[in-house]
């Protein structure tokens, strides 16, 4: 019988209301040797509300430093070889945890699962098809999964040897909807020789709140996707990728599919143009341009 590979789980969050239930859910998934790190990325007084537990370590950033910073901090503090990042609105499954352990035991350096949506009985609006699920951090059910930050497992020792960290110019900071710190991390790991494993047959669940099932949120998320693509120097390929993603659905008519693809890819393009202009302005003005609003 295969031994149980010990794992440290990490929840990085700036939403106090989400931290408590996320901690409770995750503690239930821990084996005797597992540990849980919570990185609180807000100046709100939340530490007193998190229950004490021998397997739990809570780290509090001095202020909102961003998701990538918090992920890097969790890796630095991790005393085990294997670390699994889970978002505060992800519900783990026992099968996903066991499959991740097995993947590490089989030699994987970085592991991801499929992420499915839980809409809590809410109706899906006209502005959302399978082609826009990635803006909610959910995999398109008609496509193979890839490794995303909602449930991302990494061999920390291997990442240290390869010199790979999360890019702190990417990802969420405060109320922004920046992204791509996770996929850029995975890309760099694989480029440097890390072995990746995508667990297509097991899934975790992303609980989607009502405010994210609204056009303004989805449009703003697409806009920030464009900004993130420029920040990681991938604007051209990023736009093409987003056009294909937005059209890739089987649950919409050709008119609806094309209309939404034009709208959301247009938002991506607008974000890319905004980010590119700000980058050029910073180059022209030097340090003074850092005060330009995001």
Sign of the dihedral through C-alpha 23, 150, 224, 121: negative
pLDDT tens column, 175-187:
899 999 999 999 9
- Paired with 82 in beta bridges are 155
Helix, strand, coil shares of the chain, percent, nearest 5, are: 45, 15, 35
Is 66 contained in some domain? yes
Domain containing 39 equals 8-213
117's tokens = 């949506």
CATH code of the domain in which 190 resides: 3.90.550.10
* Residue 201 is assigned to a structural domain of this protein: yes
Confirm whether 235 is domain-assigned: no
How confident is the model over 105-157, as pLDDT tens digits? Answer: 999 999 999 999 999 899 999 999 999 999 999 999 999 999 999 999 999 99
170 vs 228: CA distance, rounded Å: 6
| Dihedral (CA of 90, 10, 8, 107) sign | positive
Q: Is residue 173 part of a domain?
A: yes
Sign of CA dihedral 178, 183, 184, 185: positive
> Is the distance from CB of 77 to CB of 59 less than 8 angstroms?
yes
pLDDT at position 17 = 86
- Count of CB atoms within 10 A of residue 58's CB? 17
Smallest CA-to-CA distance from 238 within 219, 224, 220, 218 is with: 224
Whether residue 289 is contained in a domain is answered as no
> Tokens 């760099």 — which residue?
188
Residue 3 lies in a domain: no
Give how many domains the chain has, as a whole number. Answer: 1
Whether the predicted model's global pTM rises above the 0.75 cut: yes
Over residues 238-265, the mean pLDDT reads 95
Q: Is position 267 within any domain?
A: no
């Amino acid at each position: 019988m295969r031994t149980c590979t010990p794992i440290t789980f990490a929840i990085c969050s700036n939403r106090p209301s989400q931290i408590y239930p996320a901690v409770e859910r995750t503690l239930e998934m821990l084996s005797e040797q597992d540990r849980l790190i919570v990185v609180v990325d807000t100046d709100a007084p939340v530490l007193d509300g998190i229950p004490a537990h021998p397997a739990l370590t809570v780290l509090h950033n001095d202020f909102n430093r961003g998701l990538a910073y918090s992920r890097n901090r969790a890796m630095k503090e991790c005393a085990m070889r294997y670390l699994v990042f889970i978002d505060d609105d992800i519900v783990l499954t026992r099968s996903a945890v066991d499959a991740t352990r097995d993947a590490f035991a089989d030699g994987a350096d970085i592991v991801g699962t499929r992420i499915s949506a839980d809409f809590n009985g809410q109706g899906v609006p006209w502005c959302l098809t399978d082609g826009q699920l990635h803006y909610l951090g959910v995999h398109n059910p008609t496509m193979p999964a890839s490794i995303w930050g909602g449930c991302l497992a990494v061999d920390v020792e291997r990442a240290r040897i390869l010199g790979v960290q999360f890019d702190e110019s990417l990802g969420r900071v405060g109320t922004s909807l920046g992204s791509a710190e996770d996929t850029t991390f995975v890309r760099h790991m694989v480029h440097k020789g890390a072995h990746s494993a995508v667990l297509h047959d097991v899934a975790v669940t992303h609980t989607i709140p009502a405010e994210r099932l609204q056009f303004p949120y989805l449009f703003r998320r697409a806009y920030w996707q464009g900004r993130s693509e420029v920040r990681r120097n991938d604007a051209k390929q990023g736009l093409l990728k987003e056009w294909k993603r937005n059209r890739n659905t089987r649950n919409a008519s050709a008119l609806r599919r094309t209309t939404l693809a034009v709208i959301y890819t247009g938002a991506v393009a607008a974000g890319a143009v905004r980010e590119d202009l700000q980058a050029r302005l910073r180059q022209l003005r030097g340090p003074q341009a850092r005060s330009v609003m995001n």
